[in-house]
Structure 1
Amino acid sequence: MIMERRNQPGVSLTGRGPAAHVAPGTVVAVLRITALAGGIGGSRFLRGLLRAVPDAEVTVVGNTADDITLHGLHVSPDLDTVMYTLGGGIDESQGWGRAAETFAVAEELAAYGAEAQWFTLGDRDLATHLVRTRMLAAGYPLSAVTEALCDRWQPGVRLLPMTDDRVETHVVIAGDDQTERAIHFQEWWVRLHAEVPARRIVLVGADQAKPAPGVLDAIAAADVILLPPSNPVVSIGPILAVPGIRDAVRAAKAPKIGLSPIIGGSPVRGMADAALTAIGVPTTAAGVAELFADLLDGWLVDTVDEAATEQIEAAGISARAVPLWMTDPDTTAAMARAALDLAEEVRTR
């Protein structure tokens, strides 16, 4: 029989400590971690997490609100970035797309004048989208499709889409005549580089969506729930917007620990500042912590933001300052250990 996981002396949330000292033949419970993640930052953190606690059972609830249809194909950028990064197929220089990619199809599409040339799909990447689109057309839900794709990549985590329903992040901008119009998030992010100010960010379909199978169970069963340094507005925000998910995280008994995607007033990567501005949240480590204040037990900030810990603690969130630049695998693994250390501290206080 597997022994009870929570609050047992043989189980350590850090992957160290008492769990290493058990009698021969004893069945040691596996640390269960659930992470809400999307994008490059979240994927790189997850790689460090697996390095830090290789024996943990990790479930990733991935953002699907930046999914888009291009050339008739269903593209899931955040799910694919997690899958490729953890499966060893990512283009490391970009942090997205396939390694050793070629672009023969994209060149031919451009020669035909096909639309969406601002979003280039590589030849290897196209195979993923073809398989996904074919399976969806055959009636399989996105969660089953994602599981099938992960059979090939073996990412070392259970990757779940936040929902099987279609949810899209749209950005409301002003046109040349100042008339408001909504565009898909990918167009704002990739084509416009978020240089056109967003008046609002709207999650189309989120209010009618349901959590994908396994999502709520993974949250309820977790020993630790992590919010990696993903974009808080367009990666983590849409996940929490699916009815039932935010409530499940709030109600979970596990410690909820987040890592700031903002260091020294600037995003670790990407244009999260533009998205935060659109929803009226300061581009600071404390500002993002307060965005998730109803959920968090602990929040890690970079050492340059150590002064912000007092403000974060005043909001009822335990805060610690540690190095958060994901410069190499060892540093990223140390970040993950720091998050688990804070979870253990919160759990035992």
Structure 2
Amino acid sequence: MIVALSGGIGGAKLALGLSHVLPLSELLIVANTGDDFEHLGLSISPDIDTLTYALAGLDNQELGWGRRDETWSFMETLGSIGGETWFRLGDRDLALHVERTRRLRAGETLSAITAGIARRLGIGPRILPMSDDPVRTRLRSDAGWLDFQHWFVRDQTRPPVHAIDFAGAAEARPNPLLLEALRSRPRAVVICPSNPFISIEPILAVPGLRAAIAACGAPVVAVSPIIAGQAVKGPTARMFEQTGMVPSAAAVAARYAGLLTHYVMEPEDDAAGIEAQVIRAPTLMRSLKDKIALARVVLSAA
């Protein structure tokens, strides 16, 4: 079993690459749920959905989020009657959120719902929420405390961030299937090239998960989401700067201190201070070929 910790877009790219080089039953993808929130009365799970669409071949590669071949009649109508339109939900995407919300209110767990939707869409690897209990990422900014999606989407990351909190993490229970996989000594744990602050650290904040990864006896291989001091996509570099750190591949590795055995990073980036075996390889994934090539590098390192 390969256990991969993932956020949204960058993590989904590597997860897709792994799904092409592993038997599907041997890949378990742990999704961050700190980005989840309630909007328009619906339960939205952005990182789970990005992984689901990518692995089902339904992702909108032009936007980087949502479904392909999307239409926007719902949002246009909502805007015409004065509704909130800052978080865009396409017509096809909307169906998933409606069904998830219905099933959650009927008492099903997020894990069961995610697994059921994955089966319906023909997805082979397992996608597991890090926990079935709610964990919500909140950011202390110049505008006060903001829920993650308000800062990221509504406010377009403009308010500088000074601190991050994972509300509910201390009370959350780790996904039992994830704990079982870690106790069974997986072949490797892969930390995908996702934002460490808001994609990976919410997973590690769930009580017992960081310790379970450290004790699992498997290689722990991370891939840097920073190339030449810049994030491929998203606010990773900006969040390092706003919290007083220089954005770099090494700075990301330091966030995972005590966990990593191997670290995959660009050949030109500085590896000084990294306490893991450094693997030099191209990490930018523009095509499916790139994703598969990086997945092979990660598995070879493990």
Deviation at 1:342, TM superposition (A): 1.3
Deviation at 1:135, TM superposition (A): 0.4
Letter in 2 for 1:319: V
Superposed CA deviations along residues 286-335 of structure 1, whole A, max 9, x for unmatched, are 01111102100000111221xx23431xx2x1002111110211122111
SS in 2 for 1:326: coil
Deviation at 1:164, TM superposition (A): 0.7
2:277 maps to 318
Residue 25 of structure 2 contacts residue 124 of structure 2 at CA under 8 Å; is this kept in 1?
no
Deviation at 1:185, TM superposition (A): 0.5
Alpha-carbon RMSD: 1.3
SS in 1 for 2:193: coil
Does residue 73 (structure 1) correspond to residue 30 (structure 2)? The answer is: no
* Aligned-partner Cα distance in 2 for 1:278–1:150: 37
* Aligned-partner Cα distance in 2 for 1:213–1:142: 13
SS in 2 for 1:200: strand
Does residue 166 (structure 1) correspond to residue 134 (structure 2)? The answer is: yes
The one of 211, 236, 261 equivalent to 1:272 is 236
Length-normalised TM-score, structure 2: 0.96
**Greater Rg over alpha carbons, structure:** 1
Deviation at 1:84, TM superposition (A): 0.4
* Alignment of structure 1 residues 45-60 onto 2, 5 Å: 45-54=14-23, 57-60=26-29
* Alignment of structure 1 residues 218-233 onto 2, 5 Å: 218-221=181-184, 222-233=186-197
Counterparts in 2 of 1:232 and 1:273: CA distance versus 1, 3 Å = same
2:170 maps to 207
Letter in 2 for 1:184: D
Letter in 1 for 2:156: H
Deviation at 1:53, TM superposition (A): 2.7
SS in 1 for 2:140: strand
2:148 maps to 185
Unaligned runs of 5+ in 2: none
Deviation at 1:55, TM superposition (A): 5.4
Does residue 262 (structure 1) correspond to residue 226 (structure 2)? The answer is: yes
Letter in 1 for 2:137: T
Letter in 1 for 2:273: Q
The one of 294, 309, 323 equivalent to 2:271 is 309
Residue 167 of structure 1 contacts residue 206 of structure 1 at CA under 8 Å; is this kept in 2?
yes
Letter in 1 for 2:293: A
Residue 43 of structure 1 contacts residue 81 of structure 1 at CA under 8 Å; is this kept in 2?
yes
Unaligned runs of 5+ in 1: 1-31, 176-180, 344-349
The one of 233, 256, 277 equivalent to 1:292 is 256
Residue 250 of structure 2 contacts residue 272 of structure 2 at CA under 8 Å; is this kept in 1?
no
The one of 324, 330, 338 equivalent to 2:297 is 338
SS in 2 for 1:336: helix
1:152 maps to 120
Aligned residue pairs, count: 301
* Aligned-partner Cα distance in 1 for 2:196–2:72: 32
Residue 36 of structure 1 contacts residue 228 of structure 1 at CA under 8 Å; is this kept in 2?
yes
* Aligned-partner Cα distance in 1 for 2:117–2:301: 34
Length-normalised TM-score, structure 1: 0.83
Letter in 2 for 1:101: E
Residue 50 of structure 1 contacts residue 56 of structure 1 at CA under 8 Å; is this kept in 2?
no
Deviation at 1:148, TM superposition (A): 1.3
Superposed CA deviations along residues 134-178 of structure 1, whole A, max 9, x for unmatched, are 000001111111111112122221010001111111111123xxx
Letter in 1 for 2:187: D
* Aligned-partner Cα distance in 2 for 1:272–1:96: 17
SS in 1 for 2:103: helix
Counterparts in 2 of 1:156 and 1:281: CA distance versus 1, 3 Å = farther
